[in-house]
Amino acid sequence: MDLPIPDPVAASQETPPFGLLRPTLQAAPIILASPHSGRDYPDAFIEAARLDRLALRRSEDGFVDELFAGAVEHGVPLLRATFPRAYCDPNREAWELDPAMFEDELPAWVNTSSPRVGAGLGTIARVVASGEAIYRRKLHFAEAEARVRDCWQPYHDALGGLIAETRRRFGACLLIDCHSMPSGHVNRRDVTPDFVLGDVHGTACAPRITRLVEQTLRELGYSIRRNDPYAGGYVTRHYGRPREGTHALQIELARPLYMDEGRMEKLPRFAQVQRDLSTLIANLVAAAPSLLAA
């Protein structure tokens, strides 16, 4: 059953932590996921933030779930987080936390020293993408526990379940983790590419799969770079195990292609980019038997 994508900036406390757009019959061993396009902002989070709602929203992978929603028409499920990245980030380990953000001492088992934590972008982010601090006050560890329990864990339970279900049915699985990248954050040396494909330098996904994605996007007129500067986040690295039949590829799409980053609004070209991504998915579905052959 297809679940509707809610209007942007919905703020219902009862919204489930993820939505699943699912075809009546899955046609190929492919799953799409959008962990950073969630836009359901809890009232308590907004009240605790020193930033306004628009500034918080600029950390979203804006509208990425809608860009890839055509997957369902090709028999491919799409999992999307409904909670925002600034609130809880499912593309991190469950417990990447900055101790400077908390009133109380964190348990010894919490990862406090990862590069993401150092950048202020752990599981519970300290800053938004522009580097501005999110909170007016320090948090309590119990707040982080609640977000991991209510957001991070259900999302990963759903994603892990989809992967297991797909592997049982087809014998293999390809996970496409869908993201967007802000302008000016890709490469300072030369022109920003339209897409960055991250396969953790060939260890999370079979090279033939990455090649097909790259070839399709180039034929559609886009510029591509691999693994620079985005080689793949937690989802790609954690789930991508080609030797076990599970491949994971992260796709980063340049936001200026389809949206006004300042206003968080779609540009006229949005529909064309959406159609092109539907073409990419159709090509992957057609090639899946050979791409995922053992």
- Candidates 203, 167, 163, 174; CA nearest to 291 is 174
Closest CA to 28 of 205, 210, 216, 172: 172
Span 190-217, mean pLDDT? 95
Q: Which fold has domain 18-87+140-289?
A: Aminopeptidase (3.40.630)
- Stated as kind and residue range, the H or E segment containing 80 is strand 78-81
The pLDDT value recorded for residue 293 is: 82
Question: Coil, strand or helix: which one is 258?
Answer: coil
Which stretch of DSSP H or E encloses residue 65? Answer: helix 64-67
- pLDDT at residue 7 greater than cutoff 50: no
Select from 274, 273, 233, 271 the least CA-distant residue to 251.
233
Model confidence over 22-52: pLDDT tens digits? 999 999 999 999 999 999 999 999 999 999 9
Segment 228-249 mean pLDDT = 97
Query: By C-alpha distance, which of 223, 232, 213 is closest to 282?
Result: 213
pLDDT digits (tens, 9 = 90+) for 170-183: 999 999 999 999 98
Name, in order, each residue with C-beta under 8 angstroms of 11's C-beta and a sequence gap of 6 or more. 40, 41, 42, 43, 46
Q: Using one digit for the tens of pLDDT, what is the confidence trace for 51-91?
A: 999 999 999 999 999 999 999 999 999 999 999 999 999 99
Lowest mean per-residue pLDDT among 127-131, 136-140, 173-177, 208-212: 127-131
Q: Rounded to an integer, what distance in angstroms lies between the CA atom of residue 215 and that of residue 273?
A: 16
Ranges 109-118, 144-153, 182-191: which has the least confidence:
182-191
| Cβ proximity of 149 and 81 under 8 Å | no
Rounded to whole angstroms, how far apart are CA atoms 2 and 77? 9
Which helix H or strand E contains 44, and what residues bound it? helix 43-48
- Length of the chain measured in residues: 294
Paired sense of beta strands 265-266 and 259-260, if any:
antiparallel
pTM of the predicted model as reported, rounded to 2 decimal places: 0.92
> Which position has the higher pLDDT, 80 or 9?
80
pLDDT at position 208 is 97
Tokens of 82: 């409904």
Between CA 88 and CA 101 the distance in angstroms is 14
pLDDT at residue 288 in the model: 96
Alpha-carbon gap, residue 53 to 41, rounded angstroms: 8
Higher pLDDT, 231 or 7: 231
Q: With beta carbons less than 8 A apart as the criterion, state whether 178 and 273 touch.
A: no
